[in-house]
Amino acid sequence: MKFRISDGRTNKTFQELSERPDIDDMFYARYPVGAEPIQPAKNSDPGRVRFEALFVAMYGDCNKSDVTKNLRTVNWLPKHGGGKIAITAVNGVVSALENVSRELDEMPDQFVKYLVPTGGTYNCRRIAGSRARSMHAYGAAIDISTKFADYWRWDSTDWTQPRWRNRIPIEIVRIFEKQGFIWGGYWYHFDTMHFEYRPELLAGRL
């Protein structure tokens, strides 16, 4: 299956970028790997813009039960009783998350509270307040513990100007990034418990 890189439309609004992007739009904001987490620039959500048809072609349509047939079980932080989670095997996501789990399982105990229990992996849903599909709908994302999570819709009295905050240690973020996962804590519309498999945004930068 082939897709055009660009639809030829310029000067899109942020809502248009979020809900009707082309492939080129997915790279409108550079993912800041290695950078210190700070308040992102307005509407800078690197990785949150996704060309849906491409991801459906890769991972399947969850509304047609295409995704579930590729889900595999990962033992999440087994030394710390993290339980079992489901993640897609497409594009090697399951292997990448197993590597993340093994490394996180060896971290000092003070990090475990951020990781166990998880907030979930596969979920056939759209992003809250949007028509765009969540990466959870493809089985290619994980939310770590919600207890220490900060999310722009929860933590902002004015949704037009979310005030960034974060409690997730950067050591955890770096382990995910090494395996091809990006972090929602780098988004203006922040979601600090969220990690999704997007190695194309990290290629050659680690």
Mean per-residue pLDDT over the chain, rounded: 94
Task: Give the SS3 label for residue 90.
Answer: helix
Q: Give the residue-averaged pLDDT of 83-105.
A: 98
**pLDDT (0 to 100) of residue 40:** 95
Place of tokens 């722009």: 152
pLDDT of residue 130: 79
What phi and psi, each to the nearest 5 degrees, are found at residue 181? Answer: -100, 140
Structure token digits, residue 34: 């290695």
Average pLDDT (99-124) is: 97
pLDDT score for 205: 60
The predicted model gives 90-109 an average pLDDT of 98
Judging by DSSP bridges, how do beta strands 84-88 and 141-143 pair with one another?
unpaired
pLDDT tens readout for residues 121-149? 999 998 887 788 999 999 999 999 999 99
Q: How confident is the model over 58-86, as a mean pLDDT?
A: 97
Which domains are delineated in the chain?
A: 14-201 (3.30.1380)
Answer whether residue 204 shows pLDDT above 70.
no
Percent of the chain whose pLDDT exceeds 70: 99
Pairing mode, strands 84-88 and 181-183: unpaired
Structure tokens at 144: 């770590």
**Average pLDDT over every residue of 104-115:** 98
User: What's residue 21's pLDDT?
Assistant: 94
pLDDT of residue 16: 92
Peptide bond into 162 cis (omega under 30): no
Model pLDDT for residues 147-189, shown as the tens digit of each residue: 999 999 987 777 778 999 999 999 999 999 999 999 999 999 9
If residue 142 lies in a helix (H) or strand (E), which one and from where to where?
strand 141-143
